[in-house]
Structure 1
Amino acid sequence: MPAVPSSLFDALWDQFAALLPERPEFDPAHPWGCHRRRIPDLVVFRHVVDALVHGSGYERIASQGCSATTIRRRVKQWAHIGLAQELHRIVLAAYDTMIGLDLHDLSADGCHTKAPCKGDKAGPSPVDRAKQGLKRSTLVDGDGVPLGLASAGANRHDSKLLEPTIEAAKQQVGHLPDRATIHLDSAYNGKPCRKVLDEHHLIGEIAAKGVPAPIQVGKRWVVERSQSWMNGYGKIRRCFERDGEIIDFYLYLAAAFVTVRALIRQARNRYRWDTRPTSRRLPYTIKWRSL
């Protein structure tokens, strides 16, 4: 059984493969007599997706055709050149073309996850007895499509990540409309956050402190739902990576999967294509593309 439906994997792999730099089949740096064919990127990407979904270590998902060292080395290369961010940018552009991003009703919120191995973006979690954790801040559109991500230690306050999250969304989308409404919880109710919103020409609909959430829940539920979708991936829910670039690589790769799934669900009621899912729930299949 594949880790993700083939309708998601095939669509993302086609775009991801187009972004990969060309490399020779044999490494020219190897000495004579030690030439081995380079492991195909498709094989490595399939193992990376398994690691993302299941949260397993590379040694557990390694196979006879792809070692843990190869996976680790290839992920580091891909993360260094920002392939996941570029993939997410392409997926957002496709969603905007086919469905349309609702950029006039934004929502942002932070989420705590575990980071047992510490690392560049880990810190004592205030909600988990000061164990090492990761804080993920996400900005979504009106339908919950993730636009931008920012990560830091779990002890970083949500308000401190608001500006990096907005900047990340602008890099991924290209622009945010002036005077767009952004829905925030009471953690952002302060002068620093209002100053950030003014600088980015956004109107903040911020919950007041001390008022029960059901009374003023507003439209923030879409970002909570998106955070839940992101936490469905084991590597995001419990991250053992220590390199900050690799952490962001997996965050944006998960965001790309979330966006493609949302695109397919929205498009199946508007368009027709040969492999169109027949139900709202995307079917899982064991039919993988041949190497």
Structure 2
Amino acid sequence: MTDKVYPSDLSDAEWALIQPLIPPAKPGGHPRTTDMRRVCNGIFYLLKTGCQWQYLPKDFPPSPTVYYYYRKWQRKGVWESINHALRGLCRQQVGKSVQPSVLIVDAQSIKNDGKKGEVFGFHGGKRVKGRCRGLLVDSLGLVYKAMVAEGNASERTLAKAAVMELLETQPKLLERVKLMWVDAGYRGEVFGLGIWLMIQATVEVIKREGREFQMLPKRWIVERTFGWLNWYRRLSKEYEKFPEVSEAAIYACMTRLMLRRLVT
């Protein structure tokens, strides 16, 4: 049994779940000597605490090594693949089928710490300068697709792009989807028709009545997911230069959350 140095470190049971999902070393050449468990612990530590890469404690491998694997797995889509695999296990754990019949979509405006990269903008309605995070989640609030774009991006366009990208990369994930819950920002026949043409799912708008606070049915599920992501300080702002790295951070944070859920 390996002792956990930090609360974000993987337990033995959690490591047993994620280890088979980590790409093996390439055959030939010098054998891999880096401890992949310590690499994962370093990544989860950074996401949880929000520190900079060069400030990783010495308990982990050198920060360039940890960052190398984080970016390599991002480029190869490993974080998203791990997210898909663990999400299926979480659904089975509560007696649900691996693939959902319902999806919920929403977007969040998030500030950035300066003009990072070329993808940023200003959302006039929310008065937020930064980026827009769009999420597709299931009825448990587990992420199916994360999309990060400029702050003034259309939420409807972002949602359709997320569905389209899933159809291109993981079409089986959407085979059972028959219903999509959205808020009033997605209302309109054009959006509903677009979703129907892509996956033959009906869009149901959950409307708010009046201006006072209301606990809208089903809509709170995706809001809770945004709350889960706020537990990880690296996502408190948009610190990343590239939006695809921010998307990988969302998948990695959800990976950590699901690992803990699967072993408790």
Contact (CA 8 Å) 2:136, 2:145: kept in 1 or not? yes
- 1:126-151 Cα offsets, whole Å, 9 max, x none, are 467553x2211112222222222211
Cα pair distance change 1:250/1:55, threshold 3 Å: same
Instruction: Quote the offset at 1:213 in angstroms.
Output: 6.9
Among 13, 21, 26, the alignment partner of 2:24 is: 21
Among 77, 99, 104, the alignment partner of 2:101 is: 104
| Alignment partner, residue 31 of structure 1 | none
Instruction: Quote the offset at 1:14 in angstroms.
Output: 4.0
**Paired amino acid for 1:11:** E
Find the structure with the greater CA-based Rg: 1
Which range moved further: 230-239 or 96-105?
96-105
Alignment pair present for 1:2 and 2:1: no
Cα pair distance change 1:125/1:43, threshold 3 Å: farther
% identical equivalent positions: 18
Alignment pair present for 1:139 and 2:139: no
| TM score, norm. by length of structure 1 | 0.74
Cα pair distance change 1:143/1:65, threshold 3 Å: closer
The CA distance in 2 between the partners of 1:128 and 1:203, in whole Å, is: 28
Misfit runs of 4+, over 6 Å: none
Contact (CA 8 Å) 2:42, 2:66: kept in 1 or not? yes
The CA distance in 2 between the partners of 1:127 and 1:54, in whole Å, is: 31
**Paired amino acid for 1:15:** I
| Alignment partner, residue 251 of structure 2 | 252
Among 149, 154, 172, the alignment partner of 1:152 is: 149
The CA distance in 1 between the partners of 2:60 and 2:120, in whole Å, is: 33
Instruction: Quote the offset at 1:17 in angstroms.
Output: 5.1
- 1:91-114 Cα offsets, whole Å, 9 max, x none, are 122223333158233211111223
Alignment pair present for 1:115 and 2:118: no
Structure 1 residues not aligned, in runs of 5+: 29-36, 265-275, 278-291
Among 176, 181, 184, the alignment partner of 1:183 is: 181
| Alignment partner, residue 93 of structure 1 | 88
**Paired amino acid for 2:188:** G
Contact (CA 8 Å) 1:55, 1:238: kept in 2 or not? no
Which range moved further: 76-85 or 202-211?
202-211
Structure 2 residues not aligned, in runs of 5+: none
| Alignment partner, residue 272 of structure 1 | none
Cα pair distance change 1:55/1:192, threshold 3 Å: farther
Describe how 1:30-179 pairs up with structure 2 within 5 A.
Answer: 38-63=33-58, 66-99=61-94, 100-101=96-97, 103-117=100-114, 118-119=116-117, 121-126=119-124, 129-131=127-129, 133-167=130-164, 171=169, 174-177=172-175
| TM score, norm. by length of structure 2 | 0.80
- 1:212-270 Cα offsets, whole Å, 9 max, x none, are 47568231111111111112111222232213332222111112233344x43xxxxxx
The CA distance in 1 between the partners of 2:112 and 2:28, in whole Å, is: 36
The CA distance in 1 between the partners of 2:83 and 2:113, in whole Å, is: 27
Cα pair distance change 1:178/1:104, threshold 3 Å: closer
